[in-house]
Amino acid sequence: ALRHEMSVLCDAEVGLIIFSARGKLYEFASAGGMSRTLERYHKNSFSNQDSNLAIDRETQSWYQEVSKLKAKYESLQRSQRHLLGEDLGPLNVKELQNLEKQLEGALAQARSRKTQIMLEQMEALRRKERELGDMNKQLKNKYQLEAEGQGSLRAMQGSWESNALNNYSGHPSHSSSMDCEPTLQIGYHQYVSADGGPIQRNNAGENNFIQGWEL
């Protein structure tokens, strides 16, 4: 009864085998019989073992991978030190020759790359020089056009001033014409003789002219 209650409460299959002191065998299985319970037990046990084996194999694989990466990292560090001229004592002649070839190859590649960069820079400078030359030509042409325009303007201004002066000289002013007109004098005129004495001059024509004005 207790075994049945445990199987119900725990929601599990329970199998019990009892060997008595007299050699009798007693067994109890909660569901499906003892053989079915034993079969499930063996299946779960071997399944757990297989799962553990798979985990162990994966762990071992990762450990080997880490070991390989660590060895490769250490090898790269040694190669770097050798390329820098460090830790050359343990190397033999063949290893030193290989190192020399690597250095020569690296030097050749560095020189080739340097030459390529210098050529690219020179080409860029040539393009810049051509651009500046074209810009200089454009500015020079613009300056010449402006200078020619200013020369034409000055020539036109000089022509206008010359025409204005000619027109002014061809039409005398009113004051000049007035200066050329005769002056009419009316009144008493006194003349001085050769010996210095005053001579009164009163011509008849003048008197008549004055009398006419008085009338």
16: exposed, middle or buried (C-beta count within 10 Å: 0-12, 13-18, 19+)? middle
Query: Looking at the DSSP assignment, which residues form a beta bridge with residue 201?
Result: 189
Question: CA 47: distance to chain centroid?
Answer: 65
Q: Transcribe 95-146 into DSSP letters.
A: HHHHHHHHHHHHHHHHHHHHHHHHHHHHHHHHHHHHHHHHHHHHHHHHHHHH
pLDDT tens digit sequence for 99-152: 899 999 999 999 999 999 999 999 999 999 999 999 999 999 888 888 877 777
Per-residue pLDDT, 212: 46
Is a pLDDT exceeding 80 seen at residue 28? Answer: no
Range 7-16 average pLDDT:
56
Give exposure, 92-123, as e/b (b: 16+ Cβ within 10 Å): eeeeeeebeeeeeeeeeeeeeeeeeeeeeeee
pTM for the model: 0.38
pLDDT tens digit sequence for 55-78: 778 888 888 888 899 999 998 998
| Alpha helices (runs of H) in the chain, residue ranges in sequence order | 2-10, 34-83, 93-170, 174-180, 204-214
| Cα dihedral 165/171/177/179 (nearest 10) | 10
Per-residue pLDDT, 13: 66
